[in-house]
Amino acid sequence: MKLQTQRWIDRWIGQLLCGVVSLWARLAGTRAPKPDHSRAPRHILVILLSEMGSVVLAGPMFAALRQRYPGATLHVLQLKKNQEVARLLGLAQPEHLHSLDDSSGPGLLRDIWRVSRTLRRLPLDAVIDCELFSRVSSLMSYLSGASLRVGFTPHTQEGLYRGSYINQAIPYNPYQHISQQFLSLVDALGASAMPRHKAAPIRGLPSDTQLAVPFDTAELQAYRHQMLSDHPALAGRKIVLLYAGGGILPERAWPATHYARVASGLCQAGHAVGLIGLRDDAALARALQAQVNSEYCVNLTGYTRSIRELLMLFHGADLLITNDGGPGHFASLTPIRTMVFFGPETGRLYGPLGPRAKVLESGIACSPCLSAYNHRETFCDGDNQCLKRIAPDPVLADALAALARPARAAS
């Protein structure tokens, strides 16, 4: 389904269904068993339907769950298109990974019915809904059959109704990094009262993702050898990867002309540039190559066939310059240094974790403009001044300075 179609269904049909389920939950509440906080949960479901980068930002939450409930079985519910990351990172055993296919309306309804039946047969003790204000995840938390349901609530803020059946709700805080808020969901799971009714633990920003993808040294060397064999212009130079695509939100993209200026300066300084992205980004990469006009600017769009190969590519490069999105978060799983542009959204809430990432923002008055409260719809009509005003020459200077420093090992 198209993104706008999903938003329309979630806004109108989702609110109606949440109201109906809330009424049913209230009528049936006197007969429903109360959550038992004296017993550690045995089966915990984590609902994480957002973009793939959110899975990396949720890494500290999964680590906290395993530490606090070592005997519990973790289940993860994602969109089918995002499951590759969960498998790669080992968030749960393969048989405990559940998915919804949102490519079509009828298919999504079938999957909701199928997954709900599977989850209710477990049975689940608790569910953590990591989505901010998605109604389908809220409904799935109730349909899962778990007696303990943890999630975000707007509290007294108007709009974004998600029902009233989340019985361990914490207020969504638009001023805290999302990784900290995910950790607050773990705190709420073991609380006898909602955190807004008691002193909640103080959580600092996690220093890293607490996730890792193990690679054999020989595997990485073989991949780099193959990459240099396929693209000999990269050999003997420091490699800078550029991701200029905007993905499903084009307004997050730094201007292509700015990328071309930085790529030209890097090539003139004796470095090599690899333009990465999906096959859909190939036309943009060819246009950038034409502007740079250097044999050391190589088109790598579509070259990596999986997230695992993308991580191996990051291992074999020296610097990544990217728009806000998945690549910047995946890079935090590798030793590569990263420069990430933010504007419509902010790095203060969604920036990559770890010491090797640098967030670049202009800080103009209207930035950030995308949030859970406006369904990530901007009012700039494509004229993303928040990114256009980040000049290319200072970015080039920062990139050259980063390449001149010794590389740090992955933490």
pLDDT digits (tens, 9 = 90+) for 239-268: 999 999 987 788 999 999 999 999 999 999
* Region of residue 23 (phi > 0: left; psi between -120 and 50: alpha; otherwise: beta): alpha
38 or 171, which is more confident: 171
What does the angle CA 237 – CA 239 – CA 245 come to, to the nearest 5 degrees? Answer: 150
* Range list for CATH 3.40.50.2000 in the chain: 3-197, 217-404
The residues facing 240 across adjacent strands are: 273, 319
The strand pair at 337-341 and 357-360 is best described as parallel
- What pLDDT shows up at residue 225? 96
pLDDT band at 161 (very low <50, low <70, confident <90, very high): confident
Tell me how far apart the alpha carbons of residues 247 and 263 are, in angstroms, rounded to a whole number.
20
**pLDDT above 90 covers what percent of the chain?**
66
Statement: 3-197 belongs to CATH 3.40.50.2000: yes
With helix as H, strand as E and coil as C, how does 296-346 read?
Answer: CEEECCCCCCCHHHHHHHHHCCCEEEEECCHHHHHHCCCCCEEEEECCCCC
- What pLDDT shows up at residue 260? 97
Tell me how far apart the alpha carbons of residues 55 and 325 are, in angstroms, rounded to a whole number.
12
Q: What is the distance in angstroms between the CA of the first residue and the CA of the last residue of the chain?
A: 39
- What pLDDT shows up at residue 31? 47
Q: Taking the CB of residue 27, how many other CB atoms lie within 10 A of it? A: 9
167 CB-near residues (< 8 Å, 6+ apart): 35, 148, 149
- What pLDDT shows up at residue 262? 98
Tell me how far apart the alpha carbons of residues 16 and 279 are, in angstroms, rounded to a whole number.
39
Q: Which CATH class is domain 217-404?
A: alpha beta
**pLDDT above 70 covers what percent of the chain?**
92
Rg (CA), the chain: 22
Q: Give the pLDDT confidence of 193-247 residue by residue, as tens digits.
A: 555 545 567 788 999 999 999 999 999 999 999 999 999 999 999 999 999 998 7
Q: Give the pLDDT confidence of 94-152 residue by residue, as tens digits.
A: 999 999 998 888 888 899 999 999 999 988 999 999 998 788 999 999 999 998 999 98
Tell me how far apart the alpha carbons of residues 278 and 290 are, in angstroms, rounded to a whole number.
19
